[in-house]
Homo-oligomer: A and B are copies of this chain.
Amino acid sequence: MGQVIGKKAMETAIDKASKYGMGMVAVRNSTHYGIAGYYPLMAVEKGMIGITGSNSRPTVAPTFGVESILGTNPIAFGMPTDEEFPFLFDCATSTAQRGKIEFFARTNRNIPEGWVIGENGESRTDVQQINIDLDKGKAALLPLGGMGELGSGHKGYGFATVVEILSAALQGGVFLKALAAVDENGRHKPSRLGHFFIAIDINAFTELESFKKTAGDILRQLRASKKAPGHDRIYTAGEKEYLTRLERMKTGIPLNKKLQDLILNLKAEYGLSNYRFSFE
């Protein structure tokens, strides 16, 4: 179970970093490990830099390809700062990921160019049909940078390949199409994912307070730089999520109507009449 072994693996990387300055752990035969950014935050709490990545079920086409073969292969970096919240950058190496497309579908908005390629190599934005065709292998997600090389889609493809190799090759694991969560007959099967976890002890390089101040200064100067007209704020990675968390702790989590209905259907299906949601 990804979330259990993920925590254990990052703890091990942190222990090794405490002793040797840095530590790295690779995991085999795992499942989806949840929010990638969770693990770097464990390192940040110990005054360390945390890095993790994971391969995932094939949904992304390489540059010049149309076949879903790479995963959205997330990578995440966490760094301590002198602010109330750390730097936390956690991203899929595809332009978008499935959940974002499903969100656009539920709210009836077509997706932008550069997210999805069709089986004939065409750019696609028709979100409802895309949602069906992604499952059938008739459409694939595009790497960060979009289609072809002009927008540097080959860079997103490169990052995805780095994550694929680091997740699989250090532990002799399976990769790419072998990570599909369904077998040839369409039956669900375990996906046998691989992950990697790195912890770097800042004290092995410099005073932790010095690192935190430099990191904080970088983030503050980025936020203070000149805004594009129509934008009154520049964010740094992890800032929106921190602000959203503060807000949600106060006011709760908004759910759109379709998701509310989905939850109520699940409630009925499993006979959970003892639970009540605020939107009921």
Contact = CB atoms under 8 A, between A and B. Distances in A.
Interface of A: 20-24, 26, 49, 61-67, 69-70, 77, 79, 87, 89, 91, 95-96, 112, 114, 117, 120-121, 144-146, 150-152, 154-159, 161-162, 164-166, 168-173, 175-177, 200, 202, 205-206, 210-211, 214-215, 217-219, 221-222, 225-231, 233-237
- 3 closest A-B pairs by beta carbon, nearest first, are A121-B228, A67-B226, A169-B214
A115 to B, nearest CB: 8
Given A112-B150, A214-B168, A226 B66 contact: yes
B151 A112 contact: yes
B65 A211 contact: no
Contacts of A164: 218
B172 A214 contact: yes
A161 B218 contact: yes
Nearest to A88: B158
A205 B171 CA distance: 7
A225 B67 contact: yes
A271 B151 CA distance: 42
B151 A229 contact: no
21 contacts: A61-B228, A62-B222, A63-B234, A64-B227, A66-B227, A69-B225, A70-B222, A79-B165, A87-B161, A89-B159, A112-B151, A121-B228, A154-B237, A161-B236, A164-B218, A165-B218, A169-B206, A169-B214, A169-B218, A170-B205, A172-B210
B218 A176 contact: yes
Contact of A22 (B24, B79, B96, B218): B24
A80 to B, nearest CB: 9
A132 to B, nearest CB: 19
A225 B152 contact: no
B231 A170 contact: no
A64 B234 contact: yes
A230 to B, nearest CB: 6
A79 to B, nearest CB: 5
Given A69-B222, A236-B161, A206 B62 contact: no
Contact of A229 (B20, B63, B121, B161): B121
A20 to B, nearest CB: 5
A149 to B, nearest CB: 10
A236 B217 CA distance: 37
Contacts of A222: 62, 65, 69-70, 161, 176
A231 B95 contact: no
B21 A21 contact: no
A112 B149 CA distance: 11
